Amino acid sequence: MKYVQGKQNAEKAVVTRPVPATPAHKDVVSKDIGAERGTRARVARLILEHGPVTAAALGERLGLTPAAVRRHLDALLAEGMIEPRTARPRGQRGRGRPAKMFAITDAGRSAFVHAYDDLAGSALRFLAERLGGEAVSEFARAQVSGLVGRLEALMREVPAEQRVRVLAEALSTEGYAASASETGKGGEQLCQHHCPVAHVAAQFPQLCEAETEAFARLLGTPVQRLATIANGDGVCTTHVSSHALAARHARTDLSSTSTSKESGR
């Protein structure tokens, strides 16, 4: 009897004893953790670029199950990388709770910010103190001249109606997560969902001003900056006037000038 009980206890001990992980098992675990972090980074990036966005939309874009999306969102919420928001109602809303959307936080955006913000800010402060604000403006124009130089020839070959899209693609490759859309008001909207120099631009708006001037030059039409991340807005938004509307205004101005000259004779 003692022998039987002893054998049973031994079997239990074998079952409950932890099994040491083999090198192959460790590799699998490491790959799983890496894949998990990679997917979470993609979720955060999509929220940065397209937010505020719903969990359902994220799942569709990434091909994830609702449970997987919730797991990543919960982790990002716990880390303070994103925050929940309630969708604004459009028109007549039916019954049910408003859709919950997720937006990037300042902490989340900071995770994508360039590491040399502090150094750049110190350098511009030094420049402003020694040479004045105009020196900062000249520096800002010199910085965006590289973008203008790379795109100016291309823009001359691109049809006017495609230039905003081409510019958005170019800005995205530079790290600005840009997109283009029609406004329905005779123009287009250029959005930059990320700004690598936002913290510096908050102190030196000359950076945003030089960028806006460069956009107008590249697109060949008037533009107007409506919002900036540096100013606390969620997205840098620029309204781009349609070429047809700009040409119409130019003809009107020319006609008015001619009439004024004739009446002054």
pLDDT tens for each residue of 160-207: 889 999 999 999 888 888 999 988 767 899 999 988 888 889 999 999
Phi/psi for 52 (5° steps) reads: -65, 140
The DSSP code sequence of 146-215 is HHHHHHHHHHHHS-GGGHHHHHHHHHHHTT--EEEEE-SSSEEEEEES--TTHHHHHH-THHHHHHHHHH
* Alpha helices for 51-132 (secondary structure H): 55-62, 66-78, 106-110, 117-131
CATH of domain 117-249: 3.90.1520.10
List CB contacts of 209: < 8 A, sequence separation 6 or more. 137, 140
Question: Among residues of the chain, what percentage have pLDDT more than 90?
Answer: 46
pTM: 0.56
Whole-number mean pLDDT of the chain? 78
Q: Which residue has the tokens 């590491």?
A: 115
The residues, ordered by sequence, that sit 6+ positions from 22 with a Cβ below 8 Å of its Cβ are none
Q: Which amino acid is at 63?
A: G
Q: pLDDT tens for residues 36-79?
A: 678 888 898 889 888 789 999 999 999 999 999 999 999 999 99
Cα distance from N-terminal residue to C-terminal residue, the chain: 128
CA 50, CA 28: separation in Å to the nearest integer?
A: 33
**pLDDT for 116-139, tens place per residue?**
577 788 899 999 999 999 999 999
- CA-to-CA dists, residue 195 to 44, 201, 202, 225, 251, angstroms: 15, 9, 11, 14, 36
- Domain residue limits, the chain: 48-85, 117-249
Q: What letters, b where the CB count within 10 A reaches 16 and e where it falls short, cover 109-123?
A: beebbeeebeebbee
